[in-house]
Structure 1
Amino acid sequence: MKDDKKPIFFHNRTPVIPQKEEKFQQPTSIRKPLSDEKLKSLIDKHKSTRYRYIRKLNLKQTLLTHLAYNQNFEESMKYNLFESTREEPIDIMLIDTSYSMKRHSKSLLDKIEQLSIDLVLYHDCDIFEYQSKKQDFPPFSGGTSLYRPIKRLEQINEPMTIYHLTDEECSPHDRMKTEELVRKMIVSGKGYYRVDIN
């Protein structure tokens, strides 16, 4: 083909014109994303460990007591105590601050007060740093990505419960990737994910 715009037909067959693949581009944010080190330190700061004791039956002592002293079996049961630690999952609230969430700003404060949360993070296309002395929100602007913030939290590899306040207005591709990621997190036991649509 000399001219790329005009396909040539041979024997009444339709030509196969290669289609250009459209690559999915993640929306970008005007805000500076939170660095991985800072995000990890925030989560480490809120980690908590719970100590508990596990009782395990000492069968040898139980049988010796039962046979030697001719006691009832239930009365002769002996236990060993083992100390065990378990990391508690961190409760994280992830708040979407894209422009479409502006109409939900009044109800967001009510949702935050209803839950006891360890850490509140804000995102548009990525998690960004925002600190405020009073309870308010960063300016609602820009697009949104659900996948990128959740992927960054998943990469930290800590047990967590994510409460996501979002209107889920994102691209179908982003939504599909997010659903796959959340399914993988839940199946692997890394975390629990709940979306609250205002």
Structure 2
Amino acid sequence: MAVSSRWNMDLGLQSGGNLPKGTTGKAFCQHVWKALLAAMRDLGDGYHCVLGVGAQADALDFLGAEVEGDVPGNVSIRSCIQQVEMLNSYADVFVSHAGFNSMQESLMAGVPLIAVPQAMDQPENARKIEVSGWGRAFLEPMTTLTPAALAAAVREVSADASPYLAEVSRVKGQLQGGHQRAADRLLQLAAKPGARL
């Protein structure tokens, strides 16, 4: 969620009010991860989470010395995850910072989102996710993201009859083959007499 260059940066200054001033990438990520671990403990064995934490040496220092005791059995922690493969093959819900690429990859895989935005384009993308029915959003996550709220959102978004799943499935169908449709349309336009592209 926060690359090395943003780990110690004040993201509050870049968040457009989404994060309080003084919130570093590390503080943001660790707040989200603490809530996620507690939510997964509450959700139980019917749910499994693969948590990508990046390569920062101090990423998990909030867990203390007994890392294994603090991580529920239904959570696997990795420094790196093949996100597209995970979305296409395994995920039922994607808890994401709501960057544009991540949002698009999730939609193309037909996976509903839970958006936990930091800064830049992410708060606006999170609003779009919620308004469009693609998932839920935790705007101002340093105050709104709690373990109970996250667990409830995971249950709601991943439910079999979830309207979020139906909507992202519809969008997935629209996005499939989009590059080929665009290329075909350009070729059609180019074939018209007097066409200038």
What TM-score comes out, normalization by structure 1 length?
A: 0.28
> Comparing both structures, which one devotes a greater share of its residues to helix?
2
